[in-house]
Structure 1
Amino acid sequence: MATGQEVRQAAWSVLGAVLQEHRLLAEVLADSAGALAPLSPPERARAQRLALATLRQMQRADRLLGPHLRRMPPAPVMNALRLALVEIHAEGAPAHGAVNAAVTLLRRDKATGRYAGLANAVLRKAGQAPGWDTLPPQSLPGWLRKPLITAWGKASVTAIEAIQAAAPPLDLTPKDPAQAAALAEALGAEALPTGSLRLSAPGQVSALTGYSEGAWWVQDAAAALPALLLAPQPGEHVADLCAAPGGKTLQLAAAGARVEAVDISAARMARVTENLARCGLTARTHVADALSWQPQAPLDAVLLDAPCSATGTIRRHPDLPFVKDGTELDTLVALQARLIDRALTLLRPGGRLVFCTCSLLPEEGEAQITAALARHPGLAVLPAEAPGIAPDWRSSEGGLRIRPDHWADRGGIDGFYMAVLARAAPVP
């Protein structure tokens, strides 16, 4: 069993991978030779929580550290200081323990050992500094903040940042909606208006009631909505394009549809297969490019969760602002348009397409639908209907725009855009 110091060491290594090497946290966590690999599942979870909390609170930590630093120390040293302050101020750890732990971390490495004295002096002062909770929350990076202010206004962006500063609750999608109330009671979960269940302090996911029986799967409430908009009927032939990790595939299969799950990544598709097996559901899985995959017959419906900037998921993935810089946006927007065009060719006359992205940027949402309608005469936006949809989620072109500051009193929700499209059926 690892010690608390080894857990901190792992969290420190994760911070270095994200902030210095600019690696996505998902990649770091999946590294079989990485710092988290030797830890037990609870220890891994603890190290991950520490790293995530530090990424969410980094600017607050830097504000407290600033008055006590004549110059910025090397990045690994700065990360150790940030980690300690977040432990003290956000996690409630005893100051002396967190300070001593940071000093020990720095002394383990020859390159950082000479900063141990500095860390001890600075942290003893900053660790006692008042006002942590009154400091502004972590700001979005400029490349993202400016267009979001243009799109949604400064007050909304400030509210989004406030939501993203806190660890999000855990949302679950019940396999059988008829059992949602009983499952919520067994889990001590809140039943959300859209049908998802929300846990504020879930603990170890695999130990929760119903996990081993496949009674639910982890899926943010916003991510569960596109499949509800598609409303597959029993026996309908549908495709989930860009399907991994599989939450929407599971929803479609649970509704009784004949599902084709398509994803270009073999590793990610393996997760879809595992989730299907745990939940006792069936779908045909295809490791293929959605731009070239072809079903054996025209489909009744397609769900396209297109690759995007993922800017709506920063509350759960606070590493994204430190790894991405917006330079990939034009490429993603072009790919999304190609995927929409391709998905439409897979449908039978009168078939429907749900397009969605976990992005906050209009060019990856509203603008895509407007452009698709211009490219495809006869294409129409169908009403977006599902339980629990709030009036202020509806956008002018007929889709749904969900922002993290929606449901702020419940802990927020991922940012998403989604719309239902259909070609007019030919007149007999």
Structure 2
Amino acid sequence: MTFTSKQARRRSPTRDFQVGLPARRAAVELLDAVLGKKQPLGEVLSRSLDAGPMFDLPQRDRALARAIVATSLRRKGQLDIVIDGFLERGMPEKAGTLYPILLSGAAQLIFLKTPPHAAIDLAVTLAQYDPRARRYDKLVNAVLRRVAEHGEAIAAALDVTRVNTPDWLWARWERVWGEERTRAIAEANLVEPPLDLTVKDDPAGWAEAVSGRVLPTRSVRFLPKGRIESLPGYQDGAWWVQDAAAFLPARLLGTVAGKRVADLCAAPGGKTAQLAFAGASVVAVDDSKARLGLLAENLARLGLEAEIATADATTWQPGEHFDAVLLDAPCSSTGTIRRHPDIPYTKSARDIAPLAALQARLLDNAASLLKPGGTLVYSVCSLEPEEGEAQVAALLGRNDALRLDPVSPGELRGEADWIWPSGCLRTFPYQLKLDTPEWSGMDGFFAARLIRAA
């Protein structure tokens, strides 16, 4: 929902200064970009913070906009059913931002417990701002009033895990993992995740500093409040944000001090930082200059060093071979839905085959970079076997110089449940259970370790 200068002049001064309106407007624009244009939320949010509707919002309004967007996406299945029940003729076509206005309004009323007068009045104002949605302002008012009265009961009566998981994901997961595991995954995806920090030292001390706790991985977990940059230790480079599961693949390389390691598809650099901090001589490779710029900034803050190469990792040949290669490949990212609730709506089953083909090319080139006896760790934050187990089986079938090196529970501090019968690492979003759902969970990851014949 972008306004021209003429539209801006037509606004009511009173409405322009309605409390909470800028945050709602930002939420609607973000949802429209994600659901209408299929743009990844992370990219849209970054642009919005740089020069969009989130740019000049105070921190409190930014937090509110994020909460509205995340709740709208996590609970989209329930919200759609509630809204559709109050639309006698279905959702109008060519209605501008009508749908994200209704979706975000219902999310506030049912799940964020916003007072009805505020949520409804602001939603009507947003519709009036949009030339294509303006003629539906009375519809917005009528639908959201009924949502305020009946929506919570209707939403609570639904099969929550099922309706909030799109059919394409549910069918895949149920076929591969079974209904019980699928339900556990879907339930974990409904909960806003905590943040995990990889700390350089003294996990217990940092856990106390951020009111968190130490995980079996030695990561520090906490419930975020406010900006990450304001936390103790950020400016000093004492830690970096990294999910507990994302911490594991680099650990599978074992002792890397003094070794030459290539980190392929490295940006934004969490694993590069791990390897550099562990004493490796790292070459971080990525084809995005912008993302490598972020990696370089992160390393500078952390006081760590790595060589940086802007290159296509499917063809990169630097003229040397490495003791170890870490390939955290681009993937469908279905293991990270709890952190990225837009994924079910910006990706589809059609994306998996092209990604698997890219992963195969990356793996073939990664294997060619190994010294005899060198170690390759391949990982993806995906729950789809085409990107994990099947990918490694195919690689072993076409490259007889490689063998699978099974992961042992001792390498994961005794967490045997994270090891699949094949000896590969496989984590799920419902694992790493602590005392409450808000403190629990981890990203869904697959990782395999392979050794090149000496």
Both proteins in one fold, TM over 0.5: yes
User: Aligned-pair distance for 1:389?
Assistant: 5.2
Q: Is residue 204–residue 213 contact of structure 2 (8 Å, CA) maintained in 1?
A: no
Residues of 2 paired with 1:65 and 1:344: CA distance?
A: 51
Kindly provide the CA deviation profile for residues 261-304 of structure 1, in whole angstroms up to 9, marking residues without a partner as x.
Answer: 00000011111001000111111111111122233532111100
Q: Which residue does the alignment assign to 1:109?
A: 130
Q: Could you tell me which of 35, 38, 62 is aligned with 1:19?
A: 35
Q: Which residue does the alignment assign to 1:422?
A: 451
Q: Which moved more, 1:181-190 or 1:22-31?
A: 22-31
Residues of 2 paired with 1:191 and 1:121: CA distance?
A: 49
> What amino acid does structure 2 have at the position aligned with 1:419?
A
Q: What pairs with 1:47-62 in structure 2 (closer than 5 Å)?
A: 47-62=65-80
Q: Which residue does the alignment assign to 2:284?
A: 261
User: Aligned-pair distance for 1:405?
Assistant: 1.8
Query: Aligned to 1:356, what secondary structure does the other structure show?
Result: strand
User: Aligned-pair distance for 1:140?
Assistant: 2.8
Q: Which moved more, 1:48-57 or 1:260-269?
A: 48-57
Query: Aligned to 1:349, what secondary structure does the other structure show?
Result: strand
Q: What pairs with 1:151-300 in structure 2 (closer than 5 Å)?
A: 151-176=176-201, 179-300=202-323
TM-score by length of 2: 0.88
Query: Aligned to 2:69, what secondary structure does the other structure show?
Result: helix
Q: Which residue does the alignment assign to 1:30?
A: 46
Instruction: Report how many residues are paired.
Output: 423
Q: Could you tell me which of 355, 361, 365 is aligned with 1:338?
A: 361
> What amino acid does structure 1 have at the position aligned with 2:166?
P
Q: Is residue 214–residue 220 contact of structure 2 (8 Å, CA) maintained in 1?
A: yes
Residues of 2 paired with 1:383 and 1:42: CA distance?
A: 47
> What amino acid does structure 2 have at the position aligned with 1:393?
W
Residues of 2 paired with 1:276 and 1:161: CA distance?
A: 35
Q: Is residue 175–residue 251 contact of structure 1 (8 Å, CA) maintained in 2?
A: no
Q: Which residue does the alignment assign to 2:101?
A: 80
Q: Is residue 242–residue 307 contact of structure 1 (8 Å, CA) maintained in 2?
A: yes
Q: Which moved more, 1:68-77 or 1:344-353?
A: 68-77
Q: Could you tell me which of 144, 162, 175 is aligned with 1:123?
A: 144
> What amino acid does structure 2 have at the position aligned with 1:63?
I
> What amino acid does structure 2 have at the position aligned with 1:126?
V
User: Aligned-pair distance for 1:38?
Assistant: 3.6
Query: Aligned to 1:261, what secondary structure does the other structure show?
Result: strand
Q: Is residue 284–residue 308 contact of structure 2 (8 Å, CA) maintained in 1?
A: yes
Q: Which moved more, 1:100-109 or 1:68-77?
A: 68-77
Matched residues, percent identical? 46
Q: Is residue 103–residue 119 contact of structure 1 (8 Å, CA) maintained in 2?
A: yes
Residues of 2 paired with 1:357 and 1:98: CA distance?
A: 40
> What amino acid does structure 2 have at the position aligned with 1:317?
H
> What amino acid does structure 2 have at the position aligned with 1:391?
A
User: Aligned-pair distance for 1:231?
Assistant: 2.2
Query: Aligned to 1:350, what secondary structure does the other structure show?
Result: strand
Kindly provide the CA deviation profile for residues 190-248 of structure 1, in whole angstroms up to 9, marking residues without a partner as x.
Answer: 21111211112332111111111111111111111101111243211111100011000
| Change in CA separation of 1:389 and 1:148 when aligned onto 2, cut-off 3 Å | farther
Q: Is residue 65–residue 122 contact of structure 1 (8 Å, CA) maintained in 2?
A: yes
User: Aligned-pair distance for 1:166?
Assistant: 1.8
Q: Is residue 253–residue 259 contact of structure 1 (8 Å, CA) maintained in 2?
A: yes
**RMSD over aligned Cα, in angstroms?**
1.9
1:6 aligns with 2:22: yes
User: Aligned-pair distance for 1:339?
Assistant: 1.3
Q: Which residue does the alignment assign to 1:70?
A: 88
TM-score by length of 1: 0.94
1:39 aligns with 2:60: no
Residues of 1 paired with 2:225 and 2:415: CA distance?
A: 26
Listed as ranges, the gaps of 5+ residues in structure 2 are 1-15
Q: Which moved more, 1:400-409 or 1:240-249?
A: 400-409
Q: Which moved more, 1:236-245 or 1:35-44?
A: 35-44
> What amino acid does structure 2 have at the position aligned with 1:306?
A
| Change in CA separation of 1:88 and 1:139 when aligned onto 2, cut-off 3 Å | closer
User: Aligned-pair distance for 1:369?
Assistant: 1.4
Residues of 2 paired with 1:48 and 1:362: CA distance?
A: 32
Kindly provide the CA deviation profile for residues 351-378 of structure 1, in whole angstroms up to 9, marking residues without a partner as x.
Answer: 1010000110011101111112222224
Residues of 2 paired with 1:81 and 1:290: CA distance?
A: 43
Residues of 2 paired with 1:22 and 1:228: CA distance?
A: 35
Q: Is residue 235–residue 301 contact of structure 2 (8 Å, CA) maintained in 1?
A: yes
User: Aligned-pair distance for 1:408?
Assistant: 4.6
Listed as ranges, the gaps of 5+ residues in structure 1 are none
> What amino acid does structure 2 have at the position aligned with 1:395?
W
Q: Is residue 194–residue 221 contact of structure 2 (8 Å, CA) maintained in 1?
A: yes
User: Aligned-pair distance for 1:424?
Assistant: 2.4
Query: Aligned to 1:212, what secondary structure does the other structure show?
Result: coil
Residues of 2 paired with 1:134 and 1:19: CA distance?
A: 25
User: Aligned-pair distance for 1:58?
Assistant: 1.4
Q: Is residue 28–residue 34 contact of structure 1 (8 Å, CA) maintained in 2?
A: no
User: Aligned-pair distance for 1:41?
Assistant: 5.0
Q: Is residue 170–residue 198 contact of structure 1 (8 Å, CA) maintained in 2?
A: yes
Residues of 2 paired with 1:38 and 1:73: CA distance?
A: 32
> What amino acid does structure 2 have at the position aligned with 1:404?
P
User: Aligned-pair distance for 1:260?
Assistant: 0.5
Q: Which moved more, 1:392-401 or 1:24-33?
A: 24-33
Q: Is residue 109–residue 147 contact of structure 2 (8 Å, CA) maintained in 1?
A: no
Kindly provide the CA deviation profile for residues 43-76 of structure 1, in whole angstroms up to 9, marking residues without a partner as x.
Answer: 3343223212111111222222233220223462
